[in-house]
Amino acid sequence: MRREDYIILCQTHPLPVFFQPWWLDLLGSNWQVVASKQQDKVVAVWVFSLERKWGFSLIRNPLLSPYLGPYFLFEDIDKGAALADLLKQIPQTDFFQVACHPSIVEADFFHKNGFIVEEKITYRIQLNGKTEEEIFKKIKDSRRSLIRKSEKLLTTSSNLDNISSLLSLHHETYTRKGLPYPFSSEKLALIISESTDQRQGTFLYIDQNDARGFSFCPYDQQTMYLLLTAIDELRKHPAIMSWLVWENIRKAHQMGLSVFDFEGSKDAGIATFFRSFGGEKIPYFSFSRTNSWLWNLKQKWLR
């Protein structure tokens, strides 16, 4: 499918923000898309990022895109046939991995086609048909108490003037854990700025004497995603992140969005924090397949 045609398609179908051409362009990835038709209309697409690294050809989710891959534009279709059609159009690579949107539940299809299936977990709050009070009551008592106290003490802002200083907190989070920083701070600043300009992202921060931290949540027509957060370890008010998350949930509800997605975490402590907001545990799937013994050897060596 040509990019031009996909851009037009995105104007008539509410695809998730991570599937949007402007988002993929900002990431700088070599993104491509294939489409499947039934009864002469496009019923499904598969967006993928193709890269070359160390001489290997790879397909995998680019950074900052937790969900990508296949997506159904309609429910009343032959989904198995659509997936088969999409998969045969994707180029053969040494390594293939995709973390799919939670709406993709066809794990059996991928297993039958030689993929390793990994179940991941996110937490989602359903906002539709609920009042703010009902959403708040679902939050754990101790978390609600922190939020109530912080309402009088903490003030959020969305000004982007000091974004570089705030993003350094995200870098420091990786440094404390002894991990290499995989992002470009300049690229992050551009993505946040462009998302807010497109009215598809919210950047909130707190910068007071005893509290400093931020959150970035991109959103689409249905869902807001908690994508980036960081706090200053030297100014770590106990309620800072609780207040930032609650402010984002409130904003999503006020905008009429259907879902607030915490976008999962492998860290047990962070997962516990997410659960305390009353979100429903939702599985989503990652599928991988290796077509190169050299790539397998490299991966084993890195372990």
* Residue 268: band (very low, low, confident or very high) from pLDDT cuts 50, 70, 90: low
Q: Give 303's contacts (C-beta < 8 A, 6+ positions apart).
A: none
Residue 295 has pLDDT above 80, yes or no: no
Of the chain, the percentage scoring pLDDT greater than 90 comes to 72
Residue 28: per-residue pLDDT: 78
Residue 55: per-residue pLDDT: 79
pLDDT (average), residues 278-296: 83
* Residue 54: band (very low, low, confident or very high) from pLDDT cuts 50, 70, 90: confident
* Residue 292: band (very low, low, confident or very high) from pLDDT cuts 50, 70, 90: low
Of the chain, the percentage scoring pLDDT greater than 70 comes to 94
pLDDT (average), residues 167-190: 90
Residue pair 299/114 in contact by the 8 Å Cβ criterion: no
pLDDT (average), residues 38-43: 95
Residue 269 has pLDDT above 80, yes or no: no
Ordered by start, the domain boundaries in the chain are 3-119+283-302, 128-257
What CATH architecture applies to the domain 128-257?
A: 3-Layer(aba) Sandwich (3.40)
Nearest CA to 226 out of 12, 15, 6, 17 is that of 17
| pLDDT tens, residue by residue, 95-129 | 899 999 999 999 999 999 999 999 999 999 999 99
Question: Which range has the worst mean pLDDT, 65-69, 108-112, 141-145, 184-188?
Answer: 184-188
Residue 265: per-residue pLDDT: 66
Burial of 82 (0-12, 13-18, 19+ CB in 10 A): buried
> What is residue 214's DSSP assignment?
E
Cβ–Cβ contacts within 10 Å for residue 46, how many? 24
* Residue 75: band (very low, low, confident or very high) from pLDDT cuts 50, 70, 90: very high
Q: Give 246's contacts (C-beta < 8 A, 6+ positions apart).
A: 136, 139, 147, 277
**Mean pLDDT, all residues of the chain:** 91
- Looking up tokens 């045969």 gives 88
Residue 130: per-residue pLDDT: 95
pLDDT (average), residues 26-50: 93
Residue 66 has pLDDT above 80, yes or no: yes
**1.10.10, 2.30.30, 3.40.50, 3.40.630: which CATH number matches 3-119+283-302?**
3.40.630
The yes-or-no answer to whether 3-119+283-302 and 128-257 have a common fold is: yes
Q: Side-chain half-sphere of 196: how many Cα atoms within 13 Å?
A: 14
- Looking up tokens 């440094």 gives 175
